[in-house]
Structure formats: C-alpha cells, structure tokens
Amino acid sequence: MSLKKDILWRVAIVYAGVLMAGLAIIGKIVYLQFFNARKWLEQERAISIRNQVIEPYRGDILDCKGRLLATSVPYYEIRLDMSRATVSDEIFYQKIDSLSYCLARFFNDKPKAEYKRILLQVRRENKRYFLLKKNISYFQLKELKTFPIFRLGKHRGGFIAVQQYIRKQPYLDLASRTLGYLSQSERGNIVGIEGAFDNELKGTTGIKIVRKISGGYWMPVSDENEVDPVDGYDVVTTIDVELQDVATDALRRQLIKHNAHHGCVILMEVATGEIKAIANLGLDNADNTYKELYNYAIGESTEPGSTFKLPVLMACMEDGFITLEDTFNTGNGSIRFYDKIIRDSHEEGYGKISVQRIFEVSSNVGCATIVDRFYRGRERKFVDRLYSFHLNRPLGLDIRGEAEPHIKYPGDKFWSGISLPMMSHGYELQLAPIHILTFYNAVANNGKMVKPRLVKEIRAHGNIIRKYDTEIIDPSICSASTIRMAKKMLEGVVENGTAMNLKGTHLKIAGKTGTAQIARARFGYRADSKISYQASFCGYFPAENPKYSCIIVINSPSNSVYYGNVVAGPVFKEIAEKVYSSEMGAIRASLSSKLQKNAPATKSGSSELLTTALDKLGIDMTMPRTLPEWVTTQRDSLQVKIMPRKTIKNLVPDVQGMGLRDALYLLENEGLRVSFNGYGTVRSQSIAPGTVAEKGHTIYLELTNQ
C-alpha cells in the first residue's frame, strides 16, 4: 500500500470515530431531552427547590390573672432583592441616594456612602436575598416600610421581611425555672411549663416552597404556595405574679442575710392545690448573686428533719397508741439506741412531758421514745402507716424533674436497728419540699389530700380549650380525730413552742419548724470538721380557717445561725402577712367598686388593641377621626376618651399609664434596656420622656395596680 493510501485510510478512521462520537452525543441529548427528561427535572427540582417550615407563633404563658409570664416577641430579618427583574433601573437609580440616607440615619451605624456602596454591589452581583439586618422589631419594621424603594413592597421594591420570634419572660427571674425555657437539644423542650406543655404552646408549623438562588440563599417562590402555620395555645398557670414577687423577694433577702447556698418557697392554695408562688434561688458563684438556677422545690430530695415529726406522731395517733395528753419521759435530753445517741437541742432535757409538748418543743428524744416503744418489733406497721399517707409516692406533677421520695422499708439493704428512731425525727428517708407541703396541706384541708397544680387552663385566643380541675389524691388520709390533734399540735408550735417568734397579732399561723443536718455523699454529716444544716418551716394560715399552705427550705446557712424558726420562719411570716393584708385590701376594693357605676379604668397603649377591647365589651368611647398607633385615655362616668400620644424616633417615649407589654415594645425599640418593679400600670420612669435615647442604657419603671 502506498503512503498516500495509508494516510487517507487513517484519516478516514479518525473522521469515522469523530462522526460516531458526535452521533452518540446527539443521541444521548435526544434521549435525555425526550425520553428521560422527567427523572432529571425531578432531581434538579429536589436540589434547587424545597419545602421550608414556617414556625407558628408560640403561645403565651400567663399567670392566674392573665398577666404575661412568658411571651414570644416578634423580630425580623430584613432581606433585599435589588435585581433588575424586581426593581427597575429608573426607580433604583432615582431613589438610591434617598434610601441610603434613610438607612444611615435610621440605623446610625454606617455613613450614607457606605449604604449606597452596599446597595450598588447587591444590584451588580444580582443578589436576590441579601441580608441587610437582623433582630428588627415590629415598630422598626413599620418605619422601614416607609423608606424610598422599600415602600413599593416585595415585588417592586425588593423589600423582604422574614419574621422570627424571641422568647422573653417580662418578670425576669420570677418563677423562671418553673416556667422553663426553650431548648435545642435532641430531647426537645423538657424544662418547666415550656417543656411539659410544649405540644400545646408550639402550635402547628406551616410550609412554604423556596428556591435556591445564587450565593446559596433560599428565596420563597410564591406566597400562593404557602400553608399558613397555626398559632400555639396559651397556658394559664396557677401562679399569681403579686404573690410570686412577695415570695421571691422575702426569700432572697433571707438568703443574703444568712449567707445561705440556696433556698425555695412554695405557696399553695389549700382547697385546690393551686401553686400560687414557687421560688427557687441558688447562689451563682460567677457574680455572687442569687438566681433561679435549679428547681429545688420539686427536684431536691433531702432528709427533712423535724417537719417529718408531724406524720410520725399522726401515725401513732391513727394506730391508737397515743393522744395529746399522754406523757413520756425525755430525761436529760439524750437517749442511746445501740451505738447511736439521739439528743434534743435543749441540752438539759425536758423531763416528763406530754405528746403535745414533745411536738411543740420538737423533742427528738420524745419522738424516738414513742416510736421505739410502740413499733419495735412491728416496724412494718409503722412504715405501712407512713405509706398510707402517700409519702412514698411521686405526685405526678405538671412539670418534669420531681424527685423520687424514698422511705425505706424493713428488710431493705440499709435498714438497721437505729432506722426506726432515726426516722422518728426525719432522718434515713428523703423527701422533696413539695412532698412535705402536700402532706401538711392535707392536714389543713381536713384530711383531703389534693395534687399540687401549676396549670389552670389552656386557651386559644381567649377561649378555654381545656380546663384542669382539682385532683384528689385521697379524700381522707386519716380519721377526723387525728386531724384535730394534728392541727392543735401545729398551732401549739407557734403559740407556745419553737416558733413563738412567728406569733402575730392579726393573723394566726400553724406550722412546724425543721432543722436537719445535711448528709454529704462521701463525708457523711461532717465535712472538714463542719456540719451543714437545712432550716425549714412548713405550715398554713389562717390557722382557724386555712386558705394557704406554705413551705420554706433554706440550705446551708453559714452565719452560725441555722434553726428553722430563725432562718426559715421569718420568710413564712412575711409571706403570710403580706398575702393576708393584700387579700383584705382586695376585699375592701371589691366592696368599694360595687358602689361605683363609672366606666372602667383603661391603660394607655396600642390604639388598635384598646379600641378592639372596648368595642367587644360594649363600652362607649370618643376618639379622633384618625387614630395614631399609640394613644392615652381618660374616663368619666359614661365613657372612655381616647387621645393621641406622640412618639418620636430616637427620643425616650412616655410610657406612663401603659401596661408592661406596650412599654417594653416602645422602650426596647429605642435600644433601651428595661428594668421594672411591681405590676400593673407604669407609674413612673427613670429617664424623662423626650430625652435622647442612648442605646444600651437602662431605664427603670415603677408599676402599680392602683
């Protein structure tokens, strides 16, 4: 074969190969375009389009009178679509200078030239979901919507507001551990009421379709494709903010006074079991202040000490072994059981005294003597009687974290010859404060034991969806005669015994002091030659017609004073007296209001909410033709007069006469931090209205319910 033919042959082979490859490519294109198009379109759609969850509004947590304890405050992300497909060249270049000026003045963080540079860059790079700002309040959002270009809206002005919610507790640390918080853990929300009622609060999520655009941003395709979320329900608690404030304040001052490690208070309504206040304060070593760090009231199980003498002696009474008049010899204040010596706090002893007096002076020797005499060899009978009081069973509270009660049983691993006398004065067993209080509450309630309750209702937009009624654990924990003797003993403690310092002139208190040594896991009751104590007082008031029961527990007071009557008792007395005086004041106010025919008092605030409420209640009102966003009110005998209230950007607004919610909105919108005292309506503010608002400064509000 000649060289020419050889070259032509090889070229022909190359051409044929190229032709075959081209035909294969064309064939593949035709196959993909017409025969396999659906598969690849679906894959492309899965990569670039997806469903995005729309979070609903989380329901509010309210106190028993409808005041906010936890709420979701709306904040917004501001995003921009400055592409030519959305904002025309004519509008963009004509208004960019004025928009840049408005942004620079509004945010006061960049000069006008810098904002103009950003806007031009966003347009040049065709960014269609550019993040401009985060954490914009609703009122800032309303003003931003009035800016040049932005006022044209989403489809012509490229202004996109993405709503988010931040959870806030307006009363700061009041019952904050019981209210709980939102958690991002795999287990979800588990703390407090936020966790226990998460399903009711969280609502139902919505769905919107979003498309991936340049820069990795996801942009909504169309509002028409959205499935709207359903708002969460509101949870109405049994907590009363006024009583909660009293309890927390009294506890905090006593913890500071005695340099204690932590403490708790529970105030419960006798007949219903509704918890009106629950305070838990622990020492935060980071800043040496007391905060709600842990729910000690329901989660900390300890040896209760002398407050347990009530069920001990009631067990003896119920089994028919003793009456209040029976006497026992307490000797010189000490008694030995095997290698254990039990002592009274009164070193010389009390000699021969009655059961009533044994309880009043809190004689450890007396209680140990009684229990040993009647139950030695019959230990199971004694513990079975305690079990019949439901002291060994969890209460099944509304929220998680309840400590497991533990009362050992004869034959258990750690049962010994001294277990019976030790249990007689509150050792070798463990109970949380809520368990002790529930038992005392049953005594105050004439033997009826009710389950402690933190939630009253579930509401949707004010309508009751679910109501929680009082749950009876036991209609009668013991005989009526035992209850009568128990009440007499509890009254005697305050009248003639260890808690005489709590005796009042107008209010009669019944209760029992408790002082217990705290056992440490590795060191026993003594660590570094020191003994830690737990001081407590549990009781009810008024003694003659009990309405509230209450327990105070203070752990590790370290100023050499640790007895329950001195450390815990004053907190109980302060709470009881303030609650009593407050309720008497409410009764007087109620009687006075029945004589009045005037229109109701109203707070200043949002014009929309105010007029809607007055309209639904059928209350006459007068108002200007055009209502501003914020108004103030006056009333006479017939109607409510609504008048404009002016607010100016960058100046401290006048929030006097407003409710806390509206005041928070307005003041935080100006960058101020808010601290307040009291409840109801804002009476005064520390920074005068009209003053220049300096971001980050704290303004103090004084509220009153008058």
Q: Model confidence over 138-196: pLDDT tens digits?
A: 888 889 999 999 999 888 899 998 887 788 888 888 899 899 887 765 566 678 999 99
* pTM for this predicted structure: 0.73
- Find the mean pLDDT for residues 511-532: 67
- Find the mean pLDDT for residues 604-628: 69
Q: Does residue 597 surpass a pLDDT of 60?
A: no
Task: Give me the chain's average pLDDT, please.
Answer: 85
- Find the mean pLDDT for residues 380-394: 97
Give the pLDDT score at 591: 44
Hey, what's the torsion of the CAs at 143, 144, 148, 153, to 10 degrees?
A: -110
- Find the mean pLDDT for residues 645-670: 80
Give the pLDDT score at 635: 62
d(CA 231, CA 125): 38
pLDDT confidence band for 650 (50 / 70 / 90): confident
More confident of the two residues 487 and 213: 487
| Cβ density class 629-642: b for 16+ within 10 Å, e for less | ebbbbeeeeeebbb
| CB half-sphere exposure, 311, CA atoms < 13 A | 30
More confident of the two residues 419 and 205: 419
pLDDT confidence band for 596 (50 / 70 / 90): very low
Give percent above pLDDT 90 in the chain. 51
Bridging pattern class, strands 548-555 and 262-269: antiparallel
Give the pLDDT score at 637: 55
Q: Does residue 92 surpass a pLDDT of 50?
A: yes
Q: Does residue 419 surpass a pLDDT of 70?
A: yes
Q: What angle separates helix 364-375 from helix 379-388, to the nearest 10 degrees?
A: 110
More confident of the two residues 688 and 403: 403
Give the pLDDT score at 336: 93
Q: Does residue 433 surpass a pLDDT of 60?
A: yes
Q: Model confidence over 544-581: pLDDT tens digits?
A: 999 999 999 999 877 667 778 889 999 999 999 999 88
Give the other-Cβ count within 10 Å of 99's Cβ. 20
pLDDT confidence band for 520 (50 / 70 / 90): low
Give yes or no for a contact between 606 and 630, defined as CB atoms under 8 angstroms apart: yes
Q: Does residue 659 surpass a pLDDT of 60?
A: yes
Give the pLDDT score at 363: 96
Give yes or no for a contact between 148 and 102, defined as CB atoms under 8 angstroms apart: yes
Give the pLDDT score at 191: 87
Candidate from 131-145, 260-274, 632-646 with smallest mean pLDDT: 632-646
Give the pLDDT score at 350: 92
d(CA 231, CA 55): 9
Cα distance between the two ends of the chain:
118
More confident of the two residues 161 and 454: 454
Q: Model confidence over 344-383: pLDDT tens digits?
A: 988 788 999 999 999 999 999 999 999 999 999 999 999 9
Q: In 3-state terms, what secondary structure has residue 12?
A: helix
Give yes or no for a contact between 642 and 607, defined as CB atoms under 8 angstroms apart: yes
More confident of the two residues 317 and 674: 317
pLDDT confidence band for 595 (50 / 70 / 90): very low
Candidate from 5-14, 239-248, 269-278 with smallest mean pLDDT: 5-14
Q: Does residue 284 surpass a pLDDT of 60?
A: yes
Give the pLDDT score at 94: 92
More confident of the two residues 396 and 625: 396
- Find the mean pLDDT for residues 586-602: 52
- Find the mean pLDDT for residues 381-409: 95
Q: Does residue 102 surpass a pLDDT of 70?
A: yes
Give yes or no for a contact between 548 and 540, defined as CB atoms under 8 angstroms apart: yes
d(CA 610, CA 633): 10
Give the pLDDT score at 645: 73
Give the pLDDT score at 677: 74
